[in-house]
Amino acid sequence: MQDQDTSTARKNLSLKNRRSQRVYVEIPVWVYGQLNDEPFHEEALTVVVNAHGGLINLSKPIAVGEKLFLAHKRTGKDILCHVVHVGPTENGKTQIGIEFTEPAPKFWNIVFPHEDWKPSERKLPQARQVPSVPKTLPKRS
């Protein structure tokens, strides 16, 4: 039980220290960079975004500290970022954490939730009442 309490406390501390809200959303991007002094580009999808960067899946072997350009496929905007995290690889794609050189909440072209918003407190859609339908057909006159 104590391990669970410690884990929850650590998670809550992490949320308090977060600079901006995370949003789980797939946004198509082009990623441009260099590997072994050779330019590359790859189409990718975001996993998570925030005002300071995001998490993307790439097939290229990228290292922490490398600089990348991201181009938002829908808006055409591009931004300079650097790799801050290299995560696990699954199905040939590695999770890459990127950070913008400057905060850019408008880059993703989405509206972020307020700082004090908690996903656990979101309002879920209510099921609508479906009118009852007679089980028998009306008699024809």
Owning domain of residue 33: 23-111
pLDDT at site 6: 41
Any domain includes 95: yes
Any domain includes 11: no
Which residues on neighbouring strands pair with residue 79, listed in sequence order? 70
Any domain includes 5: no
Can you tell me the distance from the alpha carbon of 95 to that of 54, in angstroms, rounded to the nearest whole number? 10
Any domain includes 34: yes
Q: Is the pLDDT of residue 65 over 50?
A: yes
pLDDT at site 2: 47
Q: What is the CA radius of gyration of the chain?
A: 22
Can you tell me the distance from the alpha carbon of 85 to that of 53, in angstroms, rounded to the nearest whole number? 11
Can you tell me the distance from the alpha carbon of 97 to that of 48, in angstroms, rounded to the nearest whole number? 9
Q: What digits encode the pLDDT tens for the residues 14-31?
A: 445 556 678 888 999 999
pLDDT at site 4: 47
- Averaged pLDDT score across all residues of the chain: 80
- pLDDT band for 137, please (50, 70, 90 cuts): low
Domain count within the chain: 1
CATH of the domain at 42: 2.40.10.220
pLDDT at site 88: 94
pTM of the model: 0.67
Any domain includes 81: yes
| C-alpha closest to that of 27 among 72, 57, 79 | 72
111-120 burial, b for 16+ CB within 10 Å, e for fewer?
ebeeeeeeee
